[in-house]
Structure 1
Amino acid sequence: MLSTLARAATRRPLTVILLWVLFLLLGFGLGTGVFARLSDNVPEVPGTESERAAQYLDRADPTGRSLIGVVEAEAVSDPDLRGEVERAVADVRAIDGVAAVPDPYATGGLTAGDGQALLIPVTLEGGLDDAAEERAVDAAADRLKEIDAPGVHVSGGPLLGKQLGERAQQDVANAELISLPVVLALLLVVFGGLRAAGLPLLVAVSGIAGAFLALFAFSQFTDISVYAIQVTTMLGLGLAVDYALLMVVRFREERRRTEDVTEAVHRTVAAAGRTVLFSGLTVAVSLTGLLVFRSVFLRSMGLAVAAVVVIDMLAALTLLPALLARFGGRIAPAKERPDGAEGRLFARLARFSVRRRVAVLATVVPALLVLALPVTSLTINIGDARQLPTDTEARQLYDTVEAHFPAGAGVDPVTVVAGADTGPATIGRVLALSPAAHSRELPDGTTVISLPPTGSVDGAAATELVKMVRELRGDEPVQVTGTAARLVDFREMLAERAPWAAVTVLAGIFALLFAFTGSVLIPLRTIVTTLLSLGAALGVVVWVFQDGHLAGLLGAEGLGALSLTAPPLIVAIAFGLAMDYELFILARMREARQLTGDDEEAVVTGLRRSGRVVTCAALLLAVVFGAFMTGGFSPILQIGLGLTLAVLIDATIVRMLLVPATMSLLGHRAWWAPKALRRAHDRYGLREEAPAERELAAQS
């Protein structure tokens, strides 16, 4: 299969390149339309009580969503300012699609006690289509911002998703401006020439275009989170560089063995291409665990990121061979080095770990477990505007309300939907749960009760309110929705589906690693060591962002919980990336073992030949993830830090110390498999003939 791809790419390289250019134009043209379709509705879980109640309100409630403006001044009672506000309120009321705008001066709770701020809530009509809602929101926001006051901020509701989408587009552009030049500089150091360094960047640009196009395609069928764009783009860029780096390094080695560029490309695809293929499949399988969850966000992320990984893999196996066939003759072969000089540092590390395997295990494993300890206290929340950068409109509105109004002002209430047949006693007990509770009746007789919680929108008090309502309702037709209810349902969904997701991913990874190695012990050893590095990285993220240690250095703050988007994505993506480096190393170990038959020397040789590529790839990925962390969104900071740490810990401590130590401890048993499985692997496993094998066959 890989040989067929290599022949196709080298036979008509210009055709292949032209097809990829068309793909790039499509990705950067049509694909960027996804920025206008991003959603901030992350915790939606179809079929849950909170979602059913929300859908019912969408149909039955004559009022729709709302946005809010806050005006800040030395004295909001100033006659001139009051006139400005009253004229703006009257104009907003007259906008098509606006249902109600209360008088902030005559409505209790809308003017701050210190007299320096006031709130202007704008409620939209129910049943508006997307275009009508967007026109109403834009017109209302524009008119409120015309108020002549020292501070005017408008956000919330449908406006929040639009603001976050615009900020996401800006952050992606800034991250690319930062990361691409740094990546190019590092590649120049690695390869020592612009031609070789430029090829991985061309593949990386394909990964970015693929990310945009995949997200745009999925946005036609499901909601795409505002955070998805950064995650898929950073992963698409990072993996593309990884795969291209591996292929170009191998191509330069093969150029040292043959002057025929086409033959060098075929050898490269046969050896490194096999690793890229399995790596891409392994990362994609790691992300299938997200499909097990009943979350629209997690499923769409799993599909989109897996699609980006496959695009990167295809670019490395088709576009890069075509570029090498066309321009590879101008790339200098790898320099000849004396025996033992290549990868000397990594060979020393491997020999040290082999000789001191028990000491390495006794030191490294406890250290990683200590780093992972904070995971035991991990909690997730939907979060509030504190997750956003301080210069975003929503965060400025939040900070203004926090500074001038009592705690809990502006917090979304717990919403209780009591059917027409609900008894008065039950409604009374629900109303008694909050001193600020209030109710209203819909045209069909349904009672909607709002229970403002103390504290944050998804804090302990809010989620406890949800549980109390669900306990006291008995058999009455009462449902609970709102932000806190969605969080409770999301947590229950995670707890229910997480074991199935883990089984799905581990079974898939085991099958792929067995197909790659023909061993049953290496997959088990790989899974255990990978879980150690993953636990350590996630533990540090909890310590920083949940507990607040050193969070200020990253421009964040301790929020008492992680974003509900962060842990599942960190686990799924980091697990796949760890498999990436494992396969890079195992491929070289396998080649060395086939040549020499010496298990211990194969471990040393495998690490000596792959250590430089793995280290460079990890460093390049860290640069990419770090660039995306400059945007300031707390969920992206959490995901970026988690993936950066997972990659660096895995590529250094785990792959350079734990892997050789455990492989040495297993010895020849590492490659063992039962006879039946061994026959199945020999018959069905993907077995591309490596260059070293061909050279031996030619000499015999």
Structure 2
Amino acid sequence: MGRRPRTVVATWLALVAAFFALALGGVTGSGLFDQLSSGDMTTPGEAQDARQLLVDAGGGDLDSDTLMVSGSPATDPFVRQGVATAIKRIHDLPAVESVANPLVLEDGVKDPKGAPLVLEQGTDRYGFLTVVEFKHGLSDGELEDARRDVGIQFDQIVTASRATDSQRGSLKMLVDEVVGQVASDMKVGEGLALPVSFIVMVVVFGGFLAAGIPIVGAIAAIGGALASLWGFSHVIDLDATVVNIVSVLGLGLCIDYGLLVVSRFREEMRELLDGAPLGEDSRALVIEATGRTVDRAGRTVVFSAVTVAIALSGLLFFPSVFMQAAGAAGVSVVVLCLVVATTLIPALCALSARRLLRGRTERTPDTGVFAALAKAVQRAPWAVMALVLTALVVMALPATRMEVTSSGVELLPTDSVQRQFFEDLAQDYPLLSSPDVRVVTSADPSEVRDWAKGAARLPGVESAEVTTVGSLDGETVRSVDLRTSDGPLGPQTKDVVAQLRADRPPFDAKVGGQAADLADFTRSIADNAALAVGTVILATFVLLFLMTGSVIVPIKALLMNVVSLGASLGVLVWVFQDGHLQGLLGYSSVGAVEVSIPVLVLAFGFGLSMDYEVFLLSRIVELHERGYSTNDAVRLGLQRSGKIITSAALLMIIVFTGFVLAKVLAVKETGVALVLAIAIDATLVRMLLVPATMSVLGEWNWWAPRWMKRLHARFGITE
């Protein structure tokens, strides 16, 4: 990197241009955001089988559009005639399977057959629905054309009905709005993060150039992250919220690593110069400093990136497509940040060495705020440990009563068009909204109807209706649609799902619905958590042992991470489940935490926490190997890395604050939890708890059995 910096930078410029061209659709015509899915928390299981059976039989929910009008004089003959003309045009469209509208019935809105589609709103005023079902198996282009043609006729219906208000909706429109909102949130988040991060780094580095180098690396990481996600979107279903999380993770990590590398390059240059001026023939010194930087800071970056990748790889153990997509895409982005930090950023440092030093070539003193803090902690380590652990445990307590949910339209803000549509639909036309529980079967119709009568008498069930979905492999597929008294994710609905699965129908059937999806998702997490957590802990332990040669330090680091992450989850429950700070954060509580968030926070939070652990430990180990006592190594290590850790944490908090400002609920919850995890870890844990525990343990920090010491001597990764 030091010998050929211009070649490295030019190569990266070409790569970044290609990355953004791919992600934005400039090469293939199909960009990343064209490939995203809706955010359903599905996992292989009975609920997914039920949904797939419905889709295969021609009952796909995405293949229908609904128009809701209000305040129409629907009994007026001229209104009925105008609406009927538009309905006929819709019916004649080749891509339309069926269209339902009460005004075309013999008695119009007063016909009992159309009652589920009608809402009386006072004297001679009515609301009514028009529901259009599209044919199964249409291509994306055919479906898009059909929806456009139907939309034109919907305009005619609104005009002919003389309605005072109208709304349109479909699950396709809902998906589009979620994806669009995520894209908007991402622009806002990154639009805030980049300039604010730059300002902070100008203050930290004391110059625009030094601050700009990590930002350039971050832009390269964003482009690479988006291109990586674009590639994954063609292989697996990629949820819209994953794009936000992974892209911003890449942005934050690259800024962190850039901060570390630029700081170390300055330090190495000053050590080599030892107060002497940087001469014109200093190329050899710049090459030497670049080599040392990549060897030492680069080693820390490698350890950190591998640790974060290990944490994210735990998501691959879960069968959920959402989790696997987050894990796979996250690992690829971390690798990208690693490559940027060990190639592009050192090359930029080599090109800018003179301006980075700005004439200051004296060594940085080993005294300062962080050394003083370490001394203060070392004077009363037991008291510091007691106070910090007490605070963390108190913050973690609410996590013991966490409730999880899998929101649908509630993910969107309350003023969302599609959220308002579906909430109004559920309130005004309950029989037309999606049933709370669906039992899908191809059994004998009389047997299904008899069973449905008994199912209607289950506690919490208000009605059970048998509907014919379609035909599959010569058999008719039917659905028993159960509607409950507390909605698709209420406790009674969850009990109904549990009872139906425990006391199965007397025929082959699949139990589906939102509550069933949630049950499958939580069960898959419980079934795979031990393997995922065990693998991550073991791999992290081995990595930290290879770095430190100690058994105690890795165990202590893992335990402190558990406590700090528990504290962030506890505050998450207090805020979002209990509904505190709704006005300040701009959200509406659903009384639970989104089911995916705890797992994502544990994976991403664990990785980021270990990131700062590696930053600090690498310096302490380096100093201890040079002969410093444990207390001196901790004090000097904290002084030399404290500014980096604090600055990196502050920058990561700024980056994830973009999530806090997001309007999609799941993204907002992720942002709050990760901001808390980073803040807690970088302050209470790294600045106080680590120095206190290492001071108490003394030389025992470096203990390991003799056979493990021999392993470390042979395989350990040291200078």
| Same fold, judged at TM 0.5 (above) | yes
Where do residues 219-234 of structure 1 align in structure 2 (5 Å cutoff)? 219-234=233-248
C-alpha separation between the residues in 1 aligned to 2:152 and 2:388?
58
SS of 2:167 mapped into structure 1: strand
Structure 1 contact 538–642 (Cα < 8 Å) conserved: yes
CA apart distance, 1:29:
1.3
C-alpha separation between the residues in 1 aligned to 2:79 and 2:289?
75
Are 1:28 and 2:20 matched, yes or no? yes
Which residue of the partner structure matches residue 580 of structure 2?
A: 549
C-alpha separation between the residues in 2 aligned to 1:90 and 1:542?
52
Are 1:50 and 2:50 matched, yes or no? no
CA apart distance, 1:200:
0.4
The number of residues matched between the two structures is: 677
Structure 1 contact 64–124 (Cα < 8 Å) conserved: no
CA apart distance, 1:374:
1.2
C-alpha separation between the residues in 2 aligned to 1:87 and 1:186?
63
C-alpha separation between the residues in 2 aligned to 1:496 and 1:632?
32
C-alpha separation between the residues in 2 aligned to 1:536 and 1:139?
53
SS of 1:330 mapped into structure 2: helix
Which residue of the partner structure matches residue 524 of structure 1?
A: 555
Are 1:255 and 2:269 matched, yes or no? yes
Q: Which amino acid aligns with 2:710?
A: R
In structure 2, relative to structure 1, the CA distance for the partners of 1:64 and 1:361 (3 Å cut) is closer
Which residue of the partner structure matches residue 308 of structure 1?
A: 333
Greater mean deviation of Cα atoms: 330-339 or 430-439: 330-339
Structure 2 contact 117–432 (Cα < 8 Å) conserved: no
In structure 2, relative to structure 1, the CA distance for the partners of 1:675 and 1:626 (3 Å cut) is same
C-alpha separation between the residues in 2 aligned to 1:466 and 1:477?
16
Which residue of the partner structure matches residue 663 of structure 2?
A: 632
Q: Cα deviation per residue 1:364-393 (whole Å; 9 max; x = unaligned)?
A: 111111111111111221113222123433
C-alpha separation between the residues in 2 aligned to 1:439 and 1:409?
14
Which residue of the partner structure matches residue 440 of structure 2?
A: 417
Structure 1 contact 54–481 (Cα < 8 Å) conserved: yes
SS of 1:123 mapped into structure 2: strand
C-alpha separation between the residues in 2 aligned to 1:604 and 1:571?
30
SS of 1:169 mapped into structure 2: helix
Q: Which amino acid aligns with 2:388?
A: V
Query: Which consecutive unaligned segments of at least 5 residues does structure 1 have?
Result: 1-8, 690-700
Q: Which amino acid aligns with 2:239?
A: S
Which residue of 578, 596, 606 corresponds with 1:565? 596
Which residue of the partner structure matches residue 232 of structure 2?
A: 218
CA apart distance, 1:677:
1.5
C-alpha separation between the residues in 1 aligned to 2:147 and 2:556?
55
In structure 2, relative to structure 1, the CA distance for the partners of 1:609 and 1:104 (3 Å cut) is farther
Which residue of the partner structure matches residue 631 of structure 2?
A: 600
In structure 2, relative to structure 1, the CA distance for the partners of 1:324 and 1:151 (3 Å cut) is farther
In structure 2, relative to structure 1, the CA distance for the partners of 1:399 and 1:50 (3 Å cut) is closer
In terms of Rg, which structure is larger?
A: 2
CA apart distance, 1:569:
0.7
SS of 1:11 mapped into structure 2: coil
Which residue of 5, 10, 14 corresponds with 1:13? 5
SS of 2:579 mapped into structure 1: coil
Query: What is the TM-score normalised by the length of structure 1?
Result: 0.91
SS of 1:559 mapped into structure 2: coil
Which residue of the partner structure matches residue 288 of structure 1?
A: 313
Identical amino acids, percent of aligned pairs: 36
C-alpha separation between the residues in 2 aligned to 1:487 and 1:296?
14
C-alpha separation between the residues in 2 aligned to 1:334 and 1:527?
43
Structure 1 contact 592–606 (Cα < 8 Å) conserved: yes
Structure 1 contact 70–397 (Cα < 8 Å) conserved: no
C-alpha separation between the residues in 2 aligned to 1:63 and 1:93?
19
Which residue of 340, 343, 347 corresponds with 1:322? 347
Are 1:351 and 2:375 matched, yes or no? yes
Query: What is the TM-score normalised by the length of structure 2?
Result: 0.89
SS of 2:118 mapped into structure 1: coil
Q: Cα deviation per residue 1:201-247 (whole Å; 9 max; x = unaligned)?
A: 01111121122111111111110001111111111111110000011
C-alpha separation between the residues in 2 aligned to 1:640 and 1:486?
25
C-alpha separation between the residues in 2 aligned to 1:103 and 1:613?
65
Which residue of the partner structure matches residue 3 of structure 1?
A: none
Structure 1 contact 70–117 (Cα < 8 Å) conserved: no
SS of 1:656 mapped into structure 2: helix
Are 1:438 and 2:465 matched, yes or no? yes
Structure 1 contact 510–524 (Cα < 8 Å) conserved: yes
Are 1:183 and 2:208 matched, yes or no? no
In structure 2, relative to structure 1, the CA distance for the partners of 1:553 and 1:92 (3 Å cut) is farther
Q: Cα deviation per residue 1:489-542 (whole Å; 9 max; x = unaligned)?
A: 111111111122111111111111111111111110001111111111111111
C-alpha separation between the residues in 1 aligned to 2:83 and 2:651?
52
C-alpha separation between the residues in 2 aligned to 1:85 and 1:664?
81
In structure 2, relative to structure 1, the CA distance for the partners of 1:370 and 1:64 (3 Å cut) is closer
SS of 1:224 mapped into structure 2: coil
